[in-house]
Amino acid sequence: MAIKCIGILTSGGDAPGMNAAIRAVTRTAIYNGYKVKGIMRGYHGLVTGEIVEFKSQSVSNIIQKGGTILKTARSKEFRTEEGRRQAYENMKAEGIDALVVIGGDGSLSGAQQFAEEFDVPIVGLPGTIDNDVDGTDETIGYDTALNTIVDAVDKLRDTASSHERLFFVEVMGNTAGYLALNGAIASGAEAAIIPERETEVDQLADLIHNGFRKSKNSAIVLVAENKATGGALGLAERIKKEFPEFDARVTILGHLQRGGSPTAKDRILASKMGAMAIEALSEGQRNVMIGIKNGELVYVPFKKAIAHSQQMDLKDLDIVKILSM
């Protein structure tokens, strides 16, 4: 069946650049003769029927804005067969023939299941600050979040240099340490504690015993939020008990990392991916995510995108260590 109308939704945690992607999808679709409908509040809005028609002017003046004009929400209903059936009925009632889903691995997992159950053509865009989607070198929002972290650490270093303290800065990335590791490299932090190494070494003990303060009177350590380590607060508690000679302080950046105007890099990435999503649907592609590999946009099957098989290069931890001497 020929596609005449395309629906767009954003799902999961918001990421800077989502609006640039919405703009690109909308205008490229209209340019190619498709109707466009915006689905509010992610899969929840698909279940409840919160769907509005989008014109070119609907996405005017949004490329510079953080967040998502389509809003985002979790949906318990969409996780049930009944809920997905209702979502499909609402989609057909609105005349939507295909979907573009912008979100992280959870959103893409939902897209894969929905596509398989109801034979719906869906193209995904990787929108998450964690950069933890397989098949793509970068995700929409990652670069902006990284710059937010670097800016915060730069400010923190001003006070760190005035006190002889160990500063733990917690960043997002529950299962992926990209923000912590690359944030540490970019900000000149003394160490990064990441989920990828939690099973092979006691990272805190390693940090202390390697004498991080041999040549410095203060140190900044980036910590990925993580249940296994307890995050920055858990590590600070360990310092009190196991290494009381050190004075530890904690800064949790939290949702600050998701906000702000997207960087030029994120705007360009989101715009190119958004345009490519429409090209993919026009070519008959389905159940694929648009990724970027070695500077080239590529199609990534949903199954690969959500596989969690992508490995981080842990050699970069050595760079942090060497450069912080």
Catalytic residues: 130
DSSP string, 232-279: HHHHHHHHHHH-TTS-EEEEE-GGGGG-SPPPHHHHHHHHHHHHHHHH
Please list, in sequence order, all residues whose beta carbon lies within 8 angstroms of the beta carbon of residue 168, skipping any fewer than 6 positions away: 221, 223, 232, 235, 236, 248, 249, 250, 251
Please list, in sequence order, all residues whose beta carbon lies within 8 angstroms of the beta carbon of residue 20, skipping any fewer than 6 positions away: 62, 63, 140, 262, 266, 267, 270, 271, 274
> CA–CA separation, 6 vs 96, rounded Å?
6
Sheet arrangement for strand 219-224: 191-193, 219-224, 166-171, 248-252
Residue 201's φ and ψ, nearest 5 degrees, are -160, 150
> CA–CA separation, 112 vs 276, rounded Å?
19
Please list, in sequence order, all residues whose beta carbon lies within 8 angstroms of the beta carbon of residue 1, skipping any fewer than 6 positions away: 97
Give residue 138's identity as a one-letter amino acid code.
Answer: E
> CA–CA separation, 6 vs 34, rounded Å?
7
Packing angle between helix 18-31 and helix 264-282, nearest 10 degrees?
Answer: 40
